[in-house]
Structure 1
Amino acid sequence: MKPDIQKTRNIGISAHIDAGKTTLTERILFYCQRIHAIHDVKGKDGVGATMDFMELEKERGITIASAATYCTWKNHEINIIDTPGHVDFTIEVERSLRVLDGGILVLCSVGGVQSQSITVDRQMARYKVPAVAFINKCDRSGADPFRVIRQLREKLSHNAIAVQVPIGLEANFDGVVDLVTMKALYFDGESGETIREGKIPADLMDMVEERREELIDAASMYSDDLMEQALEGEVTPEVLMEAIRLGTLERGITPVFMGSAYKNKGVQPLLDGVTKYLPNPADVTNTAVDLENNEESVDLVTDSSKPLTALAFKLEDGRYGQLTYIRVYQGSIAKGDTIVNARTGKKVKVGRVARMHADQMEDLERLEAGTIGALFGVDCASGDTFCSPHITYSMTSMHVPEPVISLAIVPEDNKAQINMSKALNRFTKEDPTFRTKVDPETSETIISGMGELHLEVYVERMRREYGAAVTTGNPQVAYRETITQMSEFNYTHKKQTGGSGQYGRVAGYVEPVPGEDFVFESKIVGGAIPTQFIPAVEKGFQSCMEKGALLGFPITGVKIVINDGQSHSVDSSEMAFSAAARGAFREVYNRCKPAILEPIMKVEVETPPEFQGAVMGLLNQRRGIILGTQEQDTLCFVEAEVPLAEMFGYSTVLRSSTQGKAQFTMEFASYRKAPQSVADDLIEKAAKEKKDKSKVA
């Protein structure tokens, strides 16, 4: 049976750590009758939530990999992706949002808009994903959903409008008033499965009227019918719903729902909101580029009879082969079809089509346009586009952040070496933010990622899933080098051997360009350097950017301008000019006063107010700059910028200083020049390490 595209929803649930995403997904699956018992994250029964199916996720009580599932609610088919909250696994959120049509932004009614909420909101904005907000944990002490709505407006610039009002708060949280239908909703039964409609409590009437007025005002901007009804004083729920939907699709309104997923309250009205307000695949315009037609932009149509265009957005390498998560934008994929990978041009035969429920697979005959599913046994990379044999469309790839931390890993024996290689091959293929390389000087294997937790999880997975016994070295920060002043160069490369030699002269200047990686400009006139050699000059300079002379880290923020040079009719070649460029840069680099840039992290600490002084003291000791503090009832939030190098081991120190009551999140903010004393220490340490290595050699 073909799914009705109007009744299909592809949604993602994303939020700050511990806002309750996985708990909410568990309740959604229960009410949609996909599961028949509710299990909790870090549950005492040892089962754990459905979507956290990895052993590590169950143990730590966190989501590591995004998991996909689907369910049916009131004849609507909903594909759901539950994403991690930790910034270390940001690529999981990024690739999920790339293929989703709508999102649920979950916020804690006590914590409000936190640092990671800002990050996921930025990711939603990048892919223009319309969202509804769900303010969770309304049963916690200190809950204030209307403060969270104010923060949504101030911190995230959302036009956040409540579509519900809570009946009681904290321990007295009983249910919600629906401002569209003007009914009070209570959630009875052991797991809140029975919805009882009642009259709006009299003491809430004034507040309900005021909030409904606000809702109608915001929604009437998107509907003339609603504006007319509002002026006549008789607003019907159907017209109000349609206006809210139009506003949500344009990202002009963010409808706000309230509840407590853990206490089974407010989840069903949120599901109704997903079906009423979030877009179906046909509401969203997706574009691809035509590789055979000068990369012209092509609008895709959510129609199964059109030629196929689908995006592979996530890979999992299981025991029996590769599982490729795929979103079909146009056309359809059936078992036995021949499809083409637009990147490689290779034809692929589809062996098995499935849809996922966490780690379980359900075989399908066909994936229609607008749906999310999985292909089994198809070899491809993350971000590849598949299309019908007679077209070559390609979807734009997703944004992949650069790793900020590295770690050396050493296998304990030969067997561990083989298993480690297998694990690294799989992890680098699955996760674009996880990189691996071999240090040419020490022959050590270096893994790089988004944070300590990110690398810790992969090392643990190596041990568990592959039985690779490895030991890890000290974490290494991804520093950068740059220049701080302009300097001129004039360098001649001459080499005379038997037969024709090598000759090339390059002259010009080098200057800093903050915010750019590498800029090359040629101002050569009159053929001082023949045109065919200029790319070789650029390539020569570019190769010098890979390793700076201070610490051996990549160089960034450099502009090179060549304005003069000289060639020889016989001895000049691309190789000679490339060598001249390298020699010129080596000579001029130290005259440009090179400096070291260090990664700065944005750190947010959540602590009880009595430990605020201790927390700020710890951040100051770590060269942190306090950006601001905010007190909210029982908690105090401290925001700071701290160099990544100073953050190792911070979680242990923070726990011991605050009796285990504080927690922190951190994400990459920017690169900044390291203080001279720190730079001197780093250079000294690097020189010592080099000396020790040469002694060993």
Structure 2
Amino acid sequence: MKLKDEIAKRRTFGIISHPDAGKTTLTEKLLLFGGAIQTAGAVKSNKIKKHATSDFMEIEKQRGISVATSVMGFEYRDLNINILDTPGHQDFAEDTYRTLSAVDSVIVVIDVAKGVEIQTEKLVNVSRMRNIPIIVFINKLDREGKDAIDLLDEVEEKLGLNVLPLSWPIGMGQRFQGVYNLYEKQLVLFNPHGQQDEDESLTIKEPTLENLEPHIGTAAAEELLDELEIVTEVYDQFDRKEYAEGRQCPVFFGSAINNFGVKELLDCFVEIAPNPRPRITEERTIAPEEEAFTGFVFKIHANMDPKHRDRIAFVRICSGKFERNKFYHHVRKDAKLRFSNPTTFMASRKEIVDESYPGDIVGLYDSGNFKIGDSITEGEKLNFKGIPRFSPELFRYVINKDPMRFKQLDKGLIELMDEGVAQLFVKVMGTQKIIGTVGALQFDVIKYRLENEYGANCDYQPINIHKALWIEVINKEEFKDFEKRKAKDIAKDKDGNLVYLPETAWSLKMAQDNYPGIVFHETSEF
């Protein structure tokens, strides 16, 4: 099959939301439709000892939350679908930001009762900055929630999205009877806890009281017709080009836990979602149709299987064809590498793959060669953009509680920092390690994983740091004076880059005022 045909078959998207909006549940239902899994895991259920398919780390199972991006693939209607299920918890937002660099579109999940929440706003802002096409799925219609029109107004106002409903709910909570699919002109009736393929779907091209009443009753039919009239007058017609360029946002309604509304979402998604899109590098824009292979590492996960100590680099393929056992160029290290066991994923289940194409996510077993943001090519020197590290907001000294396990602690810290779960700094005056995170829960995750995956026991001590700022030296003489006066507040990150760790916002402002020849950056990519 030609490269163009393979590209046309790919759809790669991320699912984002505020915690508990139903993102991981929706992921599972999409996998069920794709035949990738046979039964859905009951998220947070201790009674039946099942867990969400995409939550495979032990701490995720214990706490009932996603703390790492999961990569899953399945086939549907002769297309190859790649889902990246991201952490919803704000303490792991940085992993989600990086994941958004590897997708071509996103589905945003919103709880009908809670509406737009703060984490949703942050993630959608990142998506909009990248002009990523967005579809909204309003979830939990089997519960009482906000009025559908009010909710669409809220999405437009808070998220800055030009929404367009492609399905419309019939009632809500106890009165919920189904949806009218505006995209396919179908009435889809709700069957609680049923399989969607057993639900009754009726083609109704022109909804009228006469053809709706027998199925949903007079009151519901009249209410639906009134609302559909408003919807068709207020909102624009669907325009695929507007959607593809991130200027129009289709909206679907449903109940993921009941497997309802998911098929309509998926059927529309595979039709309208973009094929693999071009990627920007510092040198030029990469088109997916180019014959030469290119890709970049957007995620690293240590110990996906703790028994085998495997460390996997997740690579987004951007152009050309990736082939097993072929030598490729590691741009940062200027080295040739060959990969004998590249893998594709269904959550924690891995399968060896012989060839992959643009849009695919491939896992490469890694002994420490890769870091997040690395480029792989057939020889061309390319550096992909948009995968920065952000300034942490919380900081702790790391204390080794077992001096006999120093090597295990050191190795664990290095490998976990490579994943990007947090950042490691060492002050130039001293050797004590400092961990910086964007949320307190990350400290618990790091401690848990160090103990359970590396056999190392650590504790934390508080340290007063306002934020971490990467140093760009414009005036070397100024920097010499700054280095002398602020030596106790200067550190290096794990890559050896200089970082300023001011104790207060006032200290930072004084440094900025007194040293205009030094620029302090909040991300490592500047």
TM-score bracket for this pair, using the shorter chain length = 0.7 to 0.9
Answer yes or no: is the 8 Å Cα contact 1:162–1:255 preserved in 2: yes
SS at match of 2:258: coil
Partner of 1:206: 226
Partner of 1:299: 285
Partner of 1:315: 300
Once residues 480 and 394 of structure 1 are traced to their aligned partners in structure 2, the CA distance between those partners, rounded to angstroms, is 27
Partner of 1:340: 329
Partner of 1:279: 274
Return the match for 1:288 from 262, 276, 281.
281
Question: If each structure's strand is expressed as a fraction of its own residues, which one has the higher value?
Answer: 1
CA deviation map 1:408-434 (0-9, x unaligned)? 332232333232112101111111643
Once residues 538 and 469 of structure 1 are traced to their aligned partners in structure 2, the CA distance between those partners, rounded to angstroms, is 38
Partner of 1:408: 397
Which amino acid is 1:478 matched to? I
Which amino acid is 2:143 matched to? R
**Which protein shows a greater Rg?**
1
SS at match of 1:394: coil
CA deviation map 1:217-245 (0-9, x unaligned)? x23xxxxxxxxxxxxxxxxxxxxxxx432
Answer yes or no: is the 8 Å Cα contact 1:15–1:106 preserved in 2: yes
Answer yes or no: is the 8 Å Cα contact 2:293–2:378 preserved in 1: yes
The higher-RCO structure (CA 8 Å, 6+ apart) is: 2
Once residues 375 and 480 of structure 1 are traced to their aligned partners in structure 2, the CA distance between those partners, rounded to angstroms, is 33
1:161 is displaced (CA, Å) by 1.6
Answer yes or no: is the 8 Å Cα contact 2:316–2:360 preserved in 1: yes
CA deviation map 1:162-204 (0-9, x unaligned)? 1111012012222110113322112547333324223545322
Partner of 1:478: 465
Return the match for 2:454 from 444, 466, 469.
466
Which amino acid is 1:247 matched to? E
Which amino acid is 1:327 matched to? R
Return the match for 1:447 from 405, 411, 435.
435
Once residues 546 and 334 of structure 1 are traced to their aligned partners in structure 2, the CA distance between those partners, rounded to angstroms, is 49
1:396 is displaced (CA, Å) by 1.1
Return the match for 1:150 from 137, 149, 153.
153
Once residues 8 and 252 of structure 2 are traced to their aligned partners in structure 1, the CA distance between those partners, rounded to angstroms, is 23
Once residues 489 and 341 of structure 2 are traced to their aligned partners in structure 1, the CA distance between those partners, rounded to angstroms, is 49
Once residues 99 and 502 of structure 2 are traced to their aligned partners in structure 1, the CA distance between those partners, rounded to angstroms, is 36
Answer yes or no: is the 8 Å Cα contact 1:517–1:556 preserved in 2: no
Structure 2 counterparts to residues 16-95 of structure 1, below 5 A: 16-43=18-45, 44-95=47-98
Pick closer, same or farther for the CA change 1:256–1:85 going to 2, 3 Å. same
Pick closer, same or farther for the CA change 1:458–1:341 going to 2, 3 Å. same
Structure 2 counterparts to residues 138-537 of structure 1, below 5 A: 138-188=141-191, 190-198=194-202, 200=212, 201=216, 202-203=221-222, 204-215=224-235, 218-219=236-237, 243-281=238-276, 284-290=277-283, 298-303=284-289, 306-318=291-303, 319-377=308-366, 379-389=369-379, 391-431=380-420, 433-437=422-426, 440=429, 444-473=432-461, 475-479=462-466, 535-537=476-478
Query: Is 1:553 matched with 2:521?
Result: no
Once residues 116 and 109 of structure 1 are traced to their aligned partners in structure 2, the CA distance between those partners, rounded to angstroms, is 15
CA deviation map 1:546-597 (0-9, x unaligned)? 5469x973842324479xxxxxxxxxxxxxxxxxx9xxxxxxxxxxxxxxxx
- Taking only the aligned residue pairs, the percentage that are identical comes to 27
Which amino acid is 2:456 matched to? A
Answer yes or no: is the 8 Å Cα contact 2:428–2:487 preserved in 1: no
Once residues 328 and 262 of structure 1 are traced to their aligned partners in structure 2, the CA distance between those partners, rounded to angstroms, is 32
Answer yes or no: is the 8 Å Cα contact 1:415–1:468 preserved in 2: no
Answer yes or no: is the 8 Å Cα contact 1:314–1:325 preserved in 2: yes
CA deviation map 1:415-463 (0-9, x unaligned)? 332321121011111116432436956x644322112111111111112
CA deviation map 1:355-378 (0-9, x unaligned)? 111111111111112322222236
User: CA RMSD, aligned part only?
Assistant: 2.8
Once residues 447 and 161 of structure 1 are traced to their aligned partners in structure 2, the CA distance between those partners, rounded to angstroms, is 44
Pick closer, same or farther for the CA change 1:535–1:413 going to 2, 3 Å. closer
Aligned residues: 480
1:25 is displaced (CA, Å) by 0.5
Pick closer, same or farther for the CA change 1:517–1:343 going to 2, 3 Å. closer
Pick closer, same or farther for the CA change 1:468–1:122 going to 2, 3 Å. same
Answer yes or no: is the 8 Å Cα contact 1:176–1:266 preserved in 2: yes
Query: Is 1:96 matched with 2:82?
Result: no
1:82 is displaced (CA, Å) by 0.3
Once residues 470 and 513 of structure 2 are traced to their aligned partners in structure 1, the CA distance between those partners, rounded to angstroms, is 9
Q: TM-score, normalised by structure 1?
A: 0.64
Partner of 2:120: 117
Pick closer, same or farther for the CA change 1:480–1:24 going to 2, 3 Å. closer
Once residues 471 and 371 of structure 2 are traced to their aligned partners in structure 1, the CA distance between those partners, rounded to angstroms, is 28
My pick for the range that moved more, 364-373 or 180-189, is 180-189
Once residues 287 and 123 of structure 1 are traced to their aligned partners in structure 2, the CA distance between those partners, rounded to angstroms, is 16
Answer yes or no: is the 8 Å Cα contact 1:138–1:145 preserved in 2: no
Partner of 2:493: none
Pick closer, same or farther for the CA change 1:546–1:247 going to 2, 3 Å. farther
Pick closer, same or farther for the CA change 1:214–1:4 going to 2, 3 Å. farther
Which amino acid is 2:455 matched to? G
Once residues 165 and 70 of structure 1 are traced to their aligned partners in structure 2, the CA distance between those partners, rounded to angstroms, is 29
SS at match of 1:352: coil
Pick closer, same or farther for the CA change 1:399–1:412 going to 2, 3 Å. closer
Once residues 36 and 433 of structure 1 are traced to their aligned partners in structure 2, the CA distance between those partners, rounded to angstroms, is 35
Answer yes or no: is the 8 Å Cα contact 1:322–1:376 preserved in 2: yes
Once residues 546 and 9 of structure 1 are traced to their aligned partners in structure 2, the CA distance between those partners, rounded to angstroms, is 50
1:66 is displaced (CA, Å) by 0.4
Pick closer, same or farther for the CA change 1:265–1:519 going to 2, 3 Å. closer
Once residues 210 and 129 of structure 1 are traced to their aligned partners in structure 2, the CA distance between those partners, rounded to angstroms, is 28
1:155 is displaced (CA, Å) by 1.1
1:537 is displaced (CA, Å) by 4.4
Answer yes or no: is the 8 Å Cα contact 1:518–1:559 preserved in 2: no
Once residues 197 and 429 of structure 1 are traced to their aligned partners in structure 2, the CA distance between those partners, rounded to angstroms, is 49
SS at match of 2:239: helix
Pick closer, same or farther for the CA change 1:336–1:548 going to 2, 3 Å. closer
Answer yes or no: is the 8 Å Cα contact 2:356–2:362 preserved in 1: yes
1:35 is displaced (CA, Å) by 0.5
Structure 2 counterparts to residues 616-655 of structure 1, below 5 A: none
Structure 2 counterparts to residues 671-682 of structure 1, below 5 A: none
Once residues 186 and 404 of structure 1 are traced to their aligned partners in structure 2, the CA distance between those partners, rounded to angstroms, is 48
Partner of 1:107: 110
Pick closer, same or farther for the CA change 1:424–1:111 going to 2, 3 Å. same
SS at match of 1:153: helix
Partner of 1:541: 482
Which amino acid is 2:444 matched to? E
Pick closer, same or farther for the CA change 1:552–1:385 going to 2, 3 Å. closer
Once residues 313 and 10 of structure 2 are traced to their aligned partners in structure 1, the CA distance between those partners, rounded to angstroms, is 21
My pick for the range that moved more, 314-323 or 336-345, is 314-323
Q: Which consecutive unaligned segments of at least 5 residues does structure 1 have?
A: 220-242, 291-297, 482-515, 522-533, 563-580, 582-598, 600-697
SS at match of 1:410: strand
Partner of 2:11: 9
Answer yes or no: is the 8 Å Cα contact 1:31–1:193 preserved in 2: no
Answer yes or no: is the 8 Å Cα contact 1:165–1:177 preserved in 2: yes
Once residues 391 and 400 of structure 2 are traced to their aligned partners in structure 1, the CA distance between those partners, rounded to angstroms, is 26
Answer yes or no: is the 8 Å Cα contact 2:393–2:467 preserved in 1: no
Q: Which consecutive unaligned segments of at least 5 residues does structure 2 have?
A: 203-210, 491-500
1:213 is displaced (CA, Å) by 3.5
